Amino acid sequence: MFRYGISEEDEHVLHLMASVEKFKEMHLNHDNVPLSPKQDAKKVVPDKPIEIPSNDVERLKDNNAGINELSPKQDDEEVTLEVVSDQSDQHSLAGLSCEKYGGPEDASEMVYWSDITSDASFESPFHAKHDQGDRPMYMTFEPDGGGWNNIRMAMETVVVMAHAMGRTLVIPPGQGMYLLRKDKGKQNIHFSFADFFHLDSLDREHEGIDIITTEEFLLREAMTGHLVDKHTGIVSFPPENRTNWDGQDPKPLKEWLRNVTHTPLWKPESCLAVIPASADASDTDELHAMKDEILKDMPSPADYIGKPGPVDGSPIDRMKEILADRRRLCMYDEEMQAAPVIHFMCYHKMRVRLLVHFYAFLFFQDWRQDLWTKRFVRDHLRYLDELQCAAARIVQAIREKARKRDPEGNPEGLFDSFHIRRGDFQYKNTRLEADEIYKNSNDVLTENATVFIATDQGKKDFFNPLKAHYDVYFLDDFKHLLGGFNTNYYGMIDQLIASKGRVFVGTYHSTFTGFINRMRGYYAEKHKLQGYEEGIIDSYYFAPIGQKFVMRDYVPVKQAFYAREFPASWRDIDKGVGELTSNN
């Protein structure tokens, strides 16, 4: 069960031995916590009880690590806290209703995801194996240290790995994120991933993944003495015995977690993460043999340009296409399978960072699980409905302006879109002046068309050369449609709006642009738009000029993975729906 576990008060460093009343106060009463983008409080109710076994309580009694004595109420009894959930108001990931978010009445054009009932019941083969153990198996991780879309990209990879490995996913505590700290003191600047994605609905609707907060994990495992320093073999507790790290400096927690968990040094640029079809060692052996065979005559990514392999191809053929000059496999082998907690670091000193798209890093021996995983991300790791609805209102407003500008020639209100990254962007070859951007893109756009520009450029007179040719709009022009939104969400809304452009021109190397293109790919695949068979979308780059047309052809995943999105994430991923079950 997923629970937000956020508290604004720091009066409490919880211990397992707190009274039941205190535990209820800390974990079940969160009405005062702002979780939605508008800072509105919403109560998330657990769908099953928390159980703290009596033998764990007894273990704490005998522990000499400086923990306070148990309260009398917990001495000799099992503690169970249960809340009956009101199922009638539960969110569903399947559709999109904007009625309670201020409209619009019809936001269907924002929907690129699908509702595939059979997908919700699939469990990784490792999920059943880990369920047979005495205790749950976990995956913890550190958010990426870059901007939001780097953070999102790494998070997607971890969520996918948690499902694939059959592990309970532990969401990091709410914390500050790079470039999401606008107006400190006036609005929330400490975010959990639950503030962007419907993780509660995901956890509830999918049998194969369990999601909990860091606080719940620490209460369940750390404060019961189950985590051991891997260097000393001594039971270890969190710094200051703190379990609620929301809004705190995460560095001490990260350093402690690294010492009590298995920390794979997986580097996406040098190894391919491989998920065997089963826990049988023969599958692991087969995958290693497959890689060795490929290395005898290593293909180049260029060999696959315009020539995508079948998504249901043999394992060796699919591995050839995704290997992308990597010569090692990062295998979920027996050693990793036995680790109680796997922790993925973002540790720049060791060059360990999941700056990679999940589909460019993970290889599944079973093609059906590969496509299931891609659908899972498309259909469930999407922005909150409130963000989708805000974007839909603005998209409709832009379409109305486009219709009024050319009622006969553009009755549908079509518009084009840009993402022009400026700010602190490190790739100087994309930092062009506006007249150069026009020169590099005017041939794919329509003169005098309505154009929406997503940008971090503050002074809008920079865009005057573009305004001379197009009817240009920015998010700033529609703030009246956003109400009281936390401004740290504006970038996500920008992405959603820009994704609806008839033609889109983006910034190469930008993961912000990348996600726009992925959403466009999902939409093109869903509606079978021209070129969908090869994953082609009507998107371009204004610089470097050599990359301008790369989205107009099938290109396999290749390094640098983060620089762009690839058709592999959306092309033909609905093949085999219903064929994969937990018993296959």
Say if residues 166 and 125 touch (Cβ distance below 8 Å). Answer: yes
More confident residue, 334 or 46: 334
Output the six-digit token pair for 246. Answer: 């929301």
Q: CA 277 to CA 126: how far, in whole Å?
A: 9
Q: CA 321 to CA 311: how far, in whole Å?
A: 11
| Strands 539-541 vs 504-506: parallel, antiparallel or unpaired | parallel
DSSP 139-205: EEE---SS-HHHHHHHHHHHHHHHHHTT-EEEEPPPB--TT--TTBTTB---B-GGGTB-HHHHHHH
H helix runs in 42-147, sequence order: 54-62, 125-131
Amino acid at 442: N
More confident residue, 424 or 435: 435
Measured over the CA atoms of residue 477, residue 481, residue 484 and residue 485, the dihedral's sign is negative
Output the six-digit token pair for 14. Answer: 């919880």
pLDDT band at 423 (very low <50, low <70, confident <90, very high): confident
Amino acid at 470: Y
Best CA proximity match to 155, nearest among 120, 111, 110, 199: 199
More confident residue, 71 or 119: 119
Q: CA 454 to CA 475: how far, in whole Å?
A: 7
Q: CA 465 to CA 471: how far, in whole Å?
A: 11
Q: Which of 79-88, 152-161, 278-287, 353-362 has the lowest mean pLDDT?
A: 79-88
Best CA proximity match to 574, nearest among 124, 111, 112: 112
- Residue 127 CA to chain centroid, in angstroms? 21
The helix (H) or strand (E) run that includes residue 419 is strand 416-420
Work out the percent of the chain whose per-residue pLDDT is above 90.
Answer: 77
Predicted TM-score (pTM) of the model is 0.85
Judged by DSSP in three states, 358 sits in helix
Residue 341: strand pairing partners = 138
Output the six-digit token pair for 151. Answer: 């953070």
Q: CA 449 to CA 414: how far, in whole Å?
A: 9
What integer best gives the mean pLDDT of the chain? Answer: 86
Cβ-in-10-Å burial (0-12, 13-18, 19+) of 103 comes to middle
pLDDT higher than threshold 50 for residue 12: no
Amino acid at 451: V
430-476 pLDDT per residue, tens: 999 999 999 999 999 999 999 999 999 999 999 999 999 999 999 99
Q: CA 516 to CA 79: how far, in whole Å?
A: 47
Whole-angstrom distance between the N-terminal and C-terminal Cα of the chain?
26
At 329, phi and psi to the nearest 5?
-110, 135
Residue 262: strand pairing partners = 342
Output the six-digit token pair for 379. Answer: 């259909």
pLDDT higher than threshold 80 for residue 571: yes
The residue whose two tokens read 């009066």 is: 11
Arithmetic mean of pLDDT, 104-129: 93
User: How many residues in the chain?
Assistant: 584
pLDDT higher than threshold 70 for residue 21: no
What is the domain partition of the chain in residue ranges?
20-260, 385-553
pLDDT at 386: 97
Q: Which CATH number fits domain 385-553: 1.10.3470, 3.40.1010, 3.40.50, 3.60.60?
A: 3.40.50
Arithmetic mean of pLDDT, 338-350: 95
Best CA proximity match to 262, nearest among 339, 357, 181: 339
User: Cis peptide before 544, with omega less than 30 degrees from 0?
Assistant: yes
- Report how far apart, in Å, the C-alpha atoms of 218 and of each of 15, 138, 252, 456 are: 9, 11, 14, 38
